[in-house]
């Protein structure tokens, strides 16, 4: 069995697509639009085979990561080296993505940085 994709609701569909394409080397599908429901989506494909579906529709509330709750927590991107983690973290900080934890080795042995994407979704960059 293989995980097919993860879906993420976003408010700025075009901006978030551009963010992941520019900074994470994703390839975007053609945009899907259902005029009846207002749903619009892109599938983003990454070199390792993973896919992220970005979705939007009228009436979405902003991301609220400041509450502790069950469910989605973060998306982790494996970059292959500590140097690539450091470089991408610096690049993302320069475009305004908040860094939540500086590069470090975690208790379970990962070298990682925790940050937020432009809409506040939690991301990890791991070596």
Judgement on whether residues 53 and 3 belong to the same structural domain of the protein: yes
Q: Is residue 66 part of a domain?
A: no
How many structural domains compose the chain? 2
Q: Is residue 37 part of a domain?
A: yes
On whether both 45 and 79 belong to a single domain, the answer is: no
Considering the domain boundaries, does residue 67 fall inside one? Answer: no
Q: What is the pLDDT of residues 39-68, one digit of tens each?
A: 999 999 999 889 999 999 998 877 676 666
pLDDT reported for residue 19: 98
The enclosing domain of 120 has a CATH number of 3.10.180.10
Per-residue pLDDT, 67: 67
Check whether residue 122 and residue 83 sit in a common domain. yes
- pLDDT computed for residue 27 by the predictor: 98
pLDDT one-digit tens code per residue, 70-84: 777 899 999 999 999
Question: Is residue 1 situated within a structural domain?
Answer: yes
Q: Mean pLDDT of all residues in the chain?
A: 93
Q: Kindly state whether residues 1 and 51 are assigned to the same domain.
A: yes
78-87: Cβ within 8 A, 24+ apart: 78/48, 78/126, 78/127, 79/125, 79/126, 79/127, 80/127, 81/127, 82/111, 82/127, 84/127, 85/111, 85/112, 85/113, 85/125, 85/126, 85/127, 86/113
pTM exceeding the 0.95 threshold for the entire prediction: no
Residue 122 belongs to what domain range? 73-127
Taking CA atoms, 26 is separated from 101, 102, 109, 121, in Å, by: 24, 24, 27, 17
Whether residue 64 lies inside any domain: the answer is: no
More confident of the two residues 95 and 2: 95
- Residue 126 included in any domain: yes
């Amino acid at each position: 069995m293989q995980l097919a994709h993860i879906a993420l609701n976003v408010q700025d569909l075009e901006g978030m697509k551009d963010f992941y394409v520019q900074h994470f080397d994703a390839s975007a599908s053609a945009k899907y639009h259902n005029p009846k429901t207002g749903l619009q989506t892109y599938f983003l494909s990454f070199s390792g085979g993973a896919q992220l579906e970005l979705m939007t529709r009228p009436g979405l509330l902003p991301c609220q990561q400041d509450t502790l709750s069950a469910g989605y927590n973060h998306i982790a991107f494996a970059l292959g080296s500590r140097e690539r983690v450091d470089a991408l973290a610096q690049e993302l900080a320069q475009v305004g993505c908040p860094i939540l934890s500086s590069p470090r080795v975690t208790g379970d042995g990962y070298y990682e940085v925790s940050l937020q994407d432009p809409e506040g979704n939690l991301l990890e960059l791991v070596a």
